[in-house]
Amino acid sequence: MNDLVSGIDIAFWALAAIAVLSGWRVFSTDSMVRASFLLLLSFMAVAGIMLLLAAPYIGVATIFMMAVEMMVMAVFMVMFMMNPAGLNPMSMVHQQPLAIGAGVVAFIGLSAAVLTSPLPDQPVAADHRAIHALGIEMLGDSMLIFESAGVALLSAMIGSVILSSRSGRFGPADPGSRPPGLCEGGLPAGSVPDENKNHGMGHGMQHDTPNAAPQDTHGAHGAQGS
């Protein structure tokens, strides 16, 4: 019996160390894709701890969801970060002392609250059917909460598609989404999307924007001499 308890303890401390270390390495690694997958490793360690806590569904569902999320995060890293592979290491931090101070204060404050407050002590039974209880609860007493979460997810899906659609709210998003010119005021790198192709999406609206004219931030396209 003592062996079994200490086995769980060893597993817990190992997983906790992995979670915290990989969480720290997320912000100190050069390669951005590695950062997102290090965060995935942190989530997987936490999911392992949850499996030790006798919550199998939540643990495995965390791994499932976080793998997909971190995959999408890696794709966004490559989209928006300057050197996603870390081949030119650069430090992109600001207000570092304040941030470190805030993190340390948060950790110390929360730990102090944990250590000084009386914590409850009603452990879950070892043979508790957690998934069954969760299912009965989710689709029984807490159906309203569950359905509200579903509606919130649906509205987030619709909202994110609208926010990032190509035919934006204030005009087409093409001028803003083109990369800057290769030289000052020159042609943008990459291909210029065709303004009138797939436009209107069946509404038949014709936009009056002049053909392929980027905004002023890129300089007047073609207006300067060569």
Partner 1 sequence: MNAATAVGATLLLMLGGAWLVAVFDRIAAALVARRPVGSLWLGPLQSGASLLVSRTNQTEHPDALNWALAPALYLVLAFVGVALVPFSTSGALVDIPAGIVLWGAVESLTVVAVFLHGWSANALFPLLGAYRYVAVGLPIMLVSMFVLIAAALPAQSLALGAIVQSQAGLWNVVRQPLGLPLFLLLGLSLTLRGPFNYADSADLAGGTDAERSGPPRAVWQWARLSMAVSFSAMAATVFLGGPLGPAWGTAELGPLWLTLKTAVVLALLVAASHLLARMPPSRMLTLLWTVLLPLSFVGLVAAGIEAAP
Partner 2 sequence: MTLQALLIVASALIGLGLYGVLSQQSFVMLMMGFELILNGVLLMTMAFWSFGSAGAPKGQLLAILVMAVMALEMAIGFALVTAVYRQRQADTTEALDTLKH
Q: How many angstroms separate the CA atoms of 142 and 89, rounded?
A: 49
Considering the complex, state which of residue 177 and residue 196 has its C-beta at the smaller distance from partner 2.
177
Regarding 36 and contact with partner 2 (CB under 8 A), the answer is: yes
Residues 12-31 that bind partner 2 (CB under 8 A): 12, 16, 19-20, 23-24, 26-27
Regarding 212 and contact with partner 2 (CB under 8 A), the answer is: no
* Binding segment toward partner 1, per CB under 8 A, in 93-101, 125-133, 145-153, 209-217: 125-133
Question: Among 80, 100, 1, which residue's Cα sits nearest to residue 33?
Answer: 80
Regarding 163 and contact with partner 2 (CB under 8 A), the answer is: yes
Number of amino acids touching partner 1 (CB under 8 A):
24
| Residue reference for tokens 């609860």 | 137
14-21, long-range: CB within 8 Å, 24+ apart, which pairs?
15/45, 15/46, 15/48, 15/49, 15/52, 16/45, 16/49, 18/42, 18/45, 19/45, 19/46, 19/49
Using CB under 8 A as the criterion, which residues of the chain lie in contact with partner 1 when the complex forms?
31, 33-34, 37, 40, 51, 56-57, 60-61, 63-64, 67-68, 70-72, 74-75, 85, 87, 129-131
